[in-house]
Amino acid sequence: MHEIQELEVEFDEGGLLKDPAQWNETLAAEIARHDGIGQLTEEHWEIIRTLREYYAKFGVAPAMSHICHSHGKDKQWIHDLFHSCLGAWRVSGLPDPGEEAKTYLSGM
């Protein structure tokens, strides 16, 4: 259990929120700080919003290369901002996407 912004927030063994309903923008900023990502910029928020919207619509992790392409960025964009695609997923407060998706997100 991590103490973030005076809230007790539980993370699973993979570092993902156990209860995604606890997510908010303040928590996202704290997770980013804790993970060494630093201050979230508008580019970070573009990715976070896109991930959350995609997950809300389809219930799965999107192809990160498509997110990069849709924003006119190269395939390293998310990695450069979040250190990994799984880091972006984590800051976005989304639930465990399953082992196969975590492997995909970690490897990008």
Written as tens digits, the pLDDT of the chain (108 aa) is: 444 545 678 999 888 999 999 999 999 999 999 999 999 999 999 999 999 999 999 998 888 998 999 999 998 999 999 999 999 999 999 998 888 888 878 765
For residues 21 and 51, the answer to whether their CB atoms sit within 8 Å is no
Residues 6+ apart with CB under 8 A from 102: 14, 86, 96
pTM tops 0.95: no
Full domain range(s) for residue 70: 2-107
Residue 29: give its domain's CATH number.
Answer: 1.10.10.370
Can you tell me the distance from the alpha carbon of 38 to that of 76, in angstroms, rounded to the nearest whole number? 18
For residues 87 and 108, the answer to whether their CB atoms sit within 8 Å is no
Domain count across the chain: 1
Amino acid of residue 15: G
